[in-house]
Amino acid sequence: MFSANLKLHPDFTIGTVERRLFGGFVEQMGRHIYGGIHEPGHPTAGPDGFRRDVVGLVRELGITAVRYPGGNFVSGHDWEDGVGPVADRPRRLDLAWHSLETNEVGLHEFSDWLDLVGADLVLAANLGTRGTREALQLLEYANVPGGTARADERRKNGREEPFDVRMWCLGNELDGDWQIGQKNADDYGKLAAVTARAMRAVDADLELAACGSSWRGMPTFGVWERTVLEHAYDQIDYISCHSYYHEEDGDTASFLASGADMEDCIESVVHTIEHVRAVKRSKRRIDIAFDEWNIWYQDPNEIDVTSWPVAPRLLENQYSVTDAVAFGGLLITLLKHADRVKAANLAQLVNVIAPIMTEPGGPAWRQTTFHPFAATARLARGTALQGVLDAPTVSTAKYGEVPVLDAVATIDGDRAAVFVLNRSLEESASLTVDAGLLGVDGPVRAQGIWDTDRHAKNTLEAPDRVTLRENTSIAREGGTVSVELPPMSWTCITIGGV
Ligand code: AHR
C-alpha cells in the first residue's frame, strides 16, 4: 500500500462543468438504431417503435446531448432521405459501414426519441459528399419557423415547431482516408469557413464545431488544426478532438494511463488554437468539442464487404472491469480540462461501442463503462477544481512515468465530489483528501469500480456482474477524508449535500 494526499481549495478552479460534457453520440449504423433504440414489436416498445427499457437506461446514464447521425455515416448521407412519409423513404447503400440504410428512422423520429430521453440534438452536416448548399437547406428545414420552402416542408411532415438545433458539427473526420469525401486541410478549412459563415447568416447564434484531426496519431495532427483554424477561426466556436483507446498486447499499465494521451491531445489543440489566435490578434475564443471518445477494440475484418445487410452486428465490444477503470480515467481527464473542453460525446450509446447493450426481443443491460459515466454525469456539477496531488509515479511503456493516481474534484453549492483513478496494478492507495477549505459539510461516501477478476464483464446472462461498489473504508475527521483505493480502481467520493 502506498500513501497519497490530495489538497483541495475552492479557489483552485479549472472551469465550469458544462452539462454538454456528458453528451453521447448516435450513429446510423450497426444495431444502434435498428434493433437497438428502435425495435417495433419489442415488449417494451411504444407505438413509435422505441424501446422504453432503452429509454430508461439512457435517462439513467445522464446523457445531456446527442450528436447525430454520424460519424462516418454522415459523409455519404442525404438528410432528405430521412424525412417525409416513412413508406416513401429510399433504401440506400451506406458506404461507410457497408450496410443498407432503410431510413425508417430519420430526423423527426430521432428528435422524438431525444424528447423521451431528455437530451438535446447536436446535428452533423455532410461536408464529405455534399457542401454548403445542403447544410443550409438542412438548417432551414430544422430551424426556420415557417414561411420558406424547407421550413414548410417540415411543417407538412408533421413538425410545426422548429427543431431549433443549437450546436452543429461541420462534417466528420475529413482528414481520414476512410472518410467518404476526404479533403486536405486547406480545402476543408475553406469549406468549413464558408459553410459556417452562410449558416450564421441564417442564425448568428449557432454554435459551430469544425473537424479537428481524427486522432492524435494522424500524420497531419497539429498542421490540420492550424490550417483549419487559419481559415475558419472567425466563424467557428469549437474544433473537435476524437480519441479511442484499448488495451494493447497486455500492456495494462499504459492502457490505464490513456488519460495522459488524451491530455496531450487536448493541450496540443489548445496551444494550436492559441497560436492561431495570436497570429490573428483575435479576441475570439475557440474551445474544444471532444465529440468522440471511448474505449474501442477495432476489428478490421468485421465488416462483410460481400453483402449489404440491414443493421448488422458491428463494433459490439463487451467491456471489462479494466476497460471501465481506464474509461473512468478518461472522464477525469475531460473534467481536468473543463476550462477548454466545453462539449464532449461518448461514442457511442447503444450496441455500437456502447455503455448499453440490447438483445432483439430480449433485455437491455448496462456495460461496465455505464457505471463510471452515470456516476460522473450525476455527481460532477458546478465548478471543476484542480487539486494538488502528492502521489508516487508509475512507469508505462507508452507514456513514461505518470502519477499513479489521477484525480479531479468538483464543487456545487454544499456538495463536493472527488474522482480518483488508481493506476497501480498491485497496490492499494491510502488516500487522504484535505477538503476542509471547501466549506462543505455532511456525510461522505465512496463508490467505485474494482474487482478481483479484472476481466469480468456484464453479459446477457450476467447483466449485473459488474456494478458500482460501495467503498466502506471511507472516513472523515474534520476536514480530512480518508479512503483506501483498491489496486486498478476508479472511485467517486461525495462530500456533503445530502
Ligand atoms: O464511432 C465509430 C467511428 O469512429 C465514427 O463513425 C467515426 O467518426 C470514427 O472514426
- Residue 464 has what pLDDT? 98
Q: Point out the ligand 1 atom lying closest to the alpha carbon of residue 178.
A: 10
Grid-cell match 458500482, residue found: 468
Tell me the average pLDDT across 130-157: 98
Rounded to whole angstroms, how far apart are CA atoms 395 and 325?
18
Closest listed residue to residue 197, CA positions, set 286, 151, 136: 136
User: CA Rg, the chain, in Å?
Assistant: 22
- Residue 130 has what pLDDT? 98
Show the CA angle centred on residue 338, arms to residues 333 and 340, nearest 5°: 105
Residue 57 and residue 197 in one domain: yes
- With pLDDT > 70 as the criterion, what percentage of the chain qualifies? 100
DSSP string, 250-306: T-HHHHHTHHHHHHHHHHHHHHHHHHHHHHHT-----EEEEEEEEE----TT-S-TT
Residue 135 and residue 233 in one domain: yes
379-428 pLDDT, tens digit each: 999 999 999 999 999 999 999 999 999 999 999 999 999 999 999 999 99
In this structure, what C-alpha cell is assigned to residue 477? 475527521
Residue 110 and residue 124 in one domain: yes
Residue 255 and residue 295 in one domain: yes
Task: Give me the number of domains the chain comprises.
Answer: 2
Q: Tell me which of 323, 348, 379 is where a domain ends.
A: 379
In this structure, what C-alpha cell is assigned to residue 384? 471543476
Residue 371 and residue 434 in one domain: no
Q: Specify whether 470 is catalytic.
A: no
Mean of per-residue pLDDT scores for the chain: 97
Closest listed residue to residue 423, CA positions, set 448, 451, 398, 403: 403
Counting ligand 1 atoms within 8 A of each CB, the residue from 242, 246, 299, 314 with the most, and so the one to mutate, is 242
Distances (CA, A) of 13 to 398, 436, 438: 30, 16, 12
- DSSP E strands in 171-254: the ranges are 207-210, 238-245
Tell me the average pLDDT across 469-473: 98
Tell me which of 39, 247, 292, 484 is the catalytic residue: 292
Give the domain range for residue 478: 2-9+385-496
Grid-cell match 467491456, residue found: 319
Residue 338 and residue 374 in one domain: yes
Most distant CA atoms of the chain, gap in Å: 69
Confidence category of residue 136, pLDDT binned at 50, 70, 90: very high
Strand bridging mode 405-412 / 469-470: unpaired
Residue 372 and residue 413 in one domain: no
Closest listed residue to residue 408, CA positions, set 398, 400, 416, 397: 416
pLDDT exceeds cutoff 90 at 306: yes
Closest listed residue to residue 134, CA positions, set 199, 89, 186, 37: 199
Tell me the average pLDDT across 427-447: 96
165-205 pLDDT, tens digit each: 999 999 999 999 999 999 999 999 999 999 999 999 999 99
Residue 404 and residue 271 in one domain: no
Residue 360 and residue 488 in one domain: no
Cα(71) to centroid(ligand 1), Å: 5
Residue 219 and residue 139 in one domain: yes
- Residue 391 has what pLDDT? 97
Q: Specify whether 173 is catalytic.
A: yes
pLDDT exceeds cutoff 90 at 336: yes
The binding-site residues of ligand 1, defined as CB within 6 angstroms of any ligand atom, are: 27, 70-72, 172-173, 214, 292, 347-348
Identify the CATH number of the domain in which residue 410 sits: 2.60.40.1180
Rounded to whole angstroms, how far apart are CA atoms 287 and 327?
23
82-125 pLDDT, tens digit each: 999 999 999 999 999 999 999 999 999 999 999 999 999 999 99
Residue 348 and residue 392 in one domain: no
Q: HSE on the CB side for 480, CA within 13 Å?
A: 7
Reduce the DSSP state of residue 330 to 3 states and report it: helix
Grid-cell match 445531456, residue found: 64
Cα(140) to centroid(ligand 1), Å: 27
- Residue 498 has what pLDDT? 61
pTM: 0.98
Q: Tell me which of 352, 379, 406 is where a domain ends.
A: 379
Cα(289) to centroid(ligand 1), Å: 15
Ramachandran sector of residue 191 (left: φ over 0; alpha: ψ -120 to 50; beta: rest): alpha
Q: Which residue's C-alpha comes closest to atom 8 of ligand 1?
A: 71
pLDDT exceeds cutoff 90 at 497: no
Q: Tell me which of 379, 402, 418 is where a domain ends.
A: 379
pLDDT exceeds cutoff 90 at 480: yes
Rounded to whole angstroms, how far apart are CA atoms 399 and 404?
12
At residue 225, what are phi and psi to the nearest 5 degrees? -60, -45
Identify the CATH number of the domain in which residue 115 sits: 3.20.20.80
Counting ligand 1 atoms within 8 A of each CB, the residue from 25, 27, 101, 122 with the most, and so the one to mutate, is 27
Question: Of how many residues is the chain composed?
Answer: 498
Residue 334 and residue 194 in one domain: yes
Cα(281) to centroid(ligand 1), Å: 35
pLDDT exceeds cutoff 70 at 283: yes
pLDDT exceeds cutoff 70 at 20: yes
